[in-house]
Chain A
């Protein structure tokens, strides 16, 4: 059974960089058929798609976050990561890592069939 687990600091200061890692077990991030993504959930904005990355490193970023966002893949560790720069209180949320089953290769979208448990990140000084 595929399992995903987020890790990273729970508290980040405003204007600093939020860094999270998702460790994958029971499967491989090198699987040609899958993408790997991040979704966040906050009381004010609900569920928000952040972005996704394929096993070849092809990425899609939500345009609202694109200028601050970097996704990466580490096949040797079977992990993928998120970096979000210049964070503000609006970035406070529970961050989920997900496996994405591609359904529309034209725009790199899909369904999220496996989710990590989520990690709460609070942006505060």
Chain B
């Protein structure tokens, strides 16, 4: 299985400031056939199911605010929130869908400082 490791485990950021979460895959999730990274990001607010934010490492899902962006390639990826809002308090997960079984990172808890 591809192991996904996120850092940090938790993060406290002031409102309006930038938050960055990292995700590292144990092997590359970049396809040589289409040059796409099979990497998604999800947000899980308290008491809610996860919500898809980003796929193909950098494509925002419909309705996701522009302050969320994804970057990276191969084995190293990042999710950035450019200006933190109170509603962004959540746990964030990366997921690879390059190979079976699909696997998730352990999660990064984002809080307000």
Contact = CB atoms under 8 A, between A and B. Distances in A.
Contacts of B51: 115
B98 A109 contact: yes
Given A49-B102, A49-B103, A64-B101, A109 B38 contact: yes
Q: Is the interface of A mostly helix, strand, loop or mixed?
A: strand
Contacts of A60: 100
A62 B101 contact: yes
Nearest to B54: A111
Interface string B46-65: 00111110010000010000
* Residue among A64, A103, A108 with the highest chain B CB neighbour number at 10 A: A103
A47 B103 CA distance: 8
Contacts of B70: none
Q: Is the interface of B mostly helix, strand, loop or mixed?
A: loop
Contacts of A107: 98-100
Interface in A18-49: 46-49
A109 B101 CA distance: 8
A61 B50 CA distance: 21
A103 B50 contact: no
B106 A103 contact: no
B100 A108 contact: yes
Counting from the closest, the 7 A-B pairs by CB-CB distance are A115-B49, A109-B97, A47-B104, A49-B102, A62-B101, A111-B55, A107-B100
11 contacts: A47-B104, A49-B102, A49-B104, A62-B101, A63-B100, A63-B101, A103-B97, A109-B38, A111-B95, A112-B42, A113-B52
Interface of B: 31, 38, 40, 42, 48-52, 55, 61, 93, 95, 97-107
Given A109-B99, A111-B95, 9 more contacts: A46-B93, A46-B104, A47-B95, A96-B50, A104-B38, A109-B97, A109-B100, A111-B55, A112-B42
